């Protein structure tokens, strides 16, 4: 399978995303000005500071030509993963519910976080637990680094998200440093083909430098879904 | 037409910037300060002011988390 990784002016995690994707399949960068998704089977919207985060994080990136194609791709059922700034872009594009606000602790924070997999039966988490690590079926340990990562949705929207089972990842007890509502670290759309999270799975794909390789399970899950192993 | 758009965090949503300033003011000796909130100000010249609402909904504000208020000013700059 082939991943397409978007690249905006101000992206900074697209190379790590590319390398993470290449551990499970092929991957190619897609420049923000291109409408051609190059035949990608799944799209990654990476982290960084697209268009300088001017106005609001992700507010301008959502109108990029490449994003127009990604929105059509998503509406057609294609798998889309948004990481950090990519999550913000997908929320601004209304592909995902809610919004990301400034951290409650008012600080840029960079730390390893423990996440609970709230749902293993998604296109993005079905391989979680395959790493053989003790407790890996329940938790992922991956880094987070952001200033604007406080997930927020209105009470009414949150009720719908919970009822539909759209929460995919939650910060484990004591790990919700940014003040996200209901400890939500990652959420999917109702159809299940679009997923965004603030922590960075692409930075945790090699135990030597990533603290863990848990993040790889997200990319591996996407590969399994695209290749039809579980459809 | 010169226009000014005031964008504020919706009431009830935690505003860490406002809280930080609210705590900083008493430290400088300004007593009796409460409910500090920080938003954005966008000023622009527009030919068709009737388009401003759509500009706000689509780009200038995020209506899920922000309220906006449009003020039309006299003349351009």
Q: Per the residue annotation, which of A92, A114, A202, A220 is the catalytic one?
A: A202
Q: What span, in angstroms and rounded, lies between the C-alpha atoms of A78 and A160?
A: 23
Interface of A with B (CB under 8 A): 55-56, 59-60, 63, 92, 98-99, 101-106, 150, 152-154, 179
B12 touches chain A (CB under 8 A): no
Q: Which residue of B has its CA nearest to A151?
A: B65
Q: What is the pLDDT of residues A84-113, one digit of tens each?
A: 999 999 999 999 999 999 999 889 999 999
Is the CB of residue A74 less than 8 Å from the CB of residue A188? no
Q: What is the pLDDT of residues A11-24, one digit of tens each?
A: 999 999 999 999 99
ipTM of the complex: 0.87
Q: For this structure, is A200 an active site residue?
A: yes
Q: For this structure, is A207 an active site residue?
A: no
**pTM above the 0.90 mark?**
yes
Q: Per the residue annotation, which of A32, A123, A146, A200 is the catalytic one?
A: A200
Q: Which residues fall within 8 angstroms of residue B9, CB to CB, at 6 or more apart?
A: A101, B15, B18, B37, B38, B39, B65, B66, B67
Q: What is the pLDDT of residues A27-52, one digit of tens each?
A: 999 999 999 999 999 999 999 999 99
């Amino acid at each position: 399978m082939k991943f397409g990784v978007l690249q905006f002016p101000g992206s900074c995690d697209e190379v790590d995303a590319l390398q993470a994707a290449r551990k499970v399949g092929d991957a190619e960068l897609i420049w923000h000005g291109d409408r051609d998704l190059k035949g990608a089977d799944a799209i990654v919207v990476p982290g960084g500071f697209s268009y300088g985060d001017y106005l609001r994080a992700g507010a301008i990136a959502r109108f990029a030509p490449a994003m127009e194609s990604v929105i059509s791709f998503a509406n057609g059922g294609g798998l889309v993963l948004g990481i950090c700034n990519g999550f913000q872009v997908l929320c601004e594009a209304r592909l995902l519910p809610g919004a990301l606000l400034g951290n409650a602790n008012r600080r840029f924070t960079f730390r390893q976080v423990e996440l609970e997999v709230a749902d293993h039966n998604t296109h993005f988490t079905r391989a979680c637990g395959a790493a053989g690590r003790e407790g890996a079926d329940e938790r992922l340990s991956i880094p987070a680094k952001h200033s604007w990562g406080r997930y927020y949705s209105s009470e009414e929207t949150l009720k719908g998200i919970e009822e539909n089972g759209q929460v995919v990842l939650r910060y484990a007890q004591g790990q919700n440093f940014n003040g996200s509502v209901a400890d939500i670290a990652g959420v999917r759309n109702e159809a299940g083909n679009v997923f965004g999270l603030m922590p960075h799975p692409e930075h945790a794909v090699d135990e030597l430098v990533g603290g863990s390789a848990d993040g790889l399970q997200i990319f591996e899950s996407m590969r399994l879904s695209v290749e039809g192993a579980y459809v | 037409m010169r226009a000014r758009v005031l964008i504020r965090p919706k009431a009830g949503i935690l505003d860490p910037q406002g809280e930080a300033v609210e705590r900083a003011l008493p430290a400088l000796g300004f007593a009796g300060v409460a409910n500090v909130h920080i938003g954005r100000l966008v000023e622009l010249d527009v030919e068709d002011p009737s388009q401003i609402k759509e500009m706000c909904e689509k780009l200038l504000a995020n209506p899920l988390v922000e309220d906006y208020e449009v003020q039309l000013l006299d003349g351009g700059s």
